[in-house]
Amino acid sequence: MICSSPRSGSTLLCKLLEATGIAGKPESYFHSPSLEDWLESYELEIGDYPNVDAARVAVFRAAHAKGLAGSDVFGLRMQGKSLEFFLEQLGKLHPNQSTDVARFQAQFGKPLFIHLTRSDKLGQAVSFVKARQTGLWHKNSDGSELERLSPPAEPVYNRDELERCKHEFEVLDARWLDWFAQEGISPVTIHYNQLARDPNGELARVLTAMDLDPSVAHAVATPTAKLADSTNQDWVRRFRTEDAVPRARY
């Protein structure tokens, strides 16, 4: 399970793992905190099941099949905002297990938790706000659009929005660390900058932790391109400059 927050490199890592053909297909299979949304995403009808419990079982079964993608490994990306509801549903599936990790293992098998984190929370916030404003979230390695969620628009600097997102990403990362400590988890930690600098090396490190052949990583091409440009740099510079100027007191 890739434990992450938006704009920390999770799409890159997911696609790298999928490209190996031996590490499943990690995606956000439980993204929305809603069983109804989960059913819809897997084209399942709640009326086809005798009760909610049976529908929940069907959702987890469908997600498991997608995350395996014909391999022996189930891959899952979990954003921090989605974790609480996911764990609640997992608890209803395995009420006799006493910990989140035990419930996860009962459902999916022996787990490996990967903490994908970005230490520069301002850069992360800038990336997120810019993507949300422009509608473009990811590009393929050839520069073509991979994921667009809204029509093209020009980005506009908004300090308050950046401040809110920066704080939110700090909180989400702290929650992951708290959960790891609570559950006694020692995750494989991957830092955004290192993943961007050496994607194949980090992929090999993850494969090694999964007891898979790390040499497979060297044949995998980088699937995505960076979106950061001069706008990102200008926003970071402007934000830090404003931070350095004492604010007037009234």
Q: What are phi and psi of 40, to 5 degrees?
A: -65, -40
For residue 248, pLDDT over 70 is answered with: no
Read off the pLDDT of each residue in 115-126 and give the average, rounded to a whole number. Answer: 97
Tell me what pLDDT residue 250 has.
40
For 14-62, the pLDDT digits (tens) are 999 999 999 999 999 999 999 999 999 999 999 999 999 999 999 999 9
Instruction: Indicate whether 119 pLDDT > 60.
Output: yes
Residue 157 corresponds to which tokens in the numbers above?
A: 């600097």
Token pair in block for residue 248: 């007037």
Lowest mean pLDDT among 89-93, 138-142, 181-185: 138-142
Q: In angstroms, rounded to a whole number, what is the distance separating the alpha carbons of residues 165 and 161?
A: 6
| pLDDT > 70 fraction of the chain, expressed in percent and rounded | 98
What backbone torsions phi and psi does residue 154 show, to the nearest 5 degrees?
-80, 140
> With bands split at pLDDT 50, 70 and 90, how would you rate the model's confidence at 128?
very high
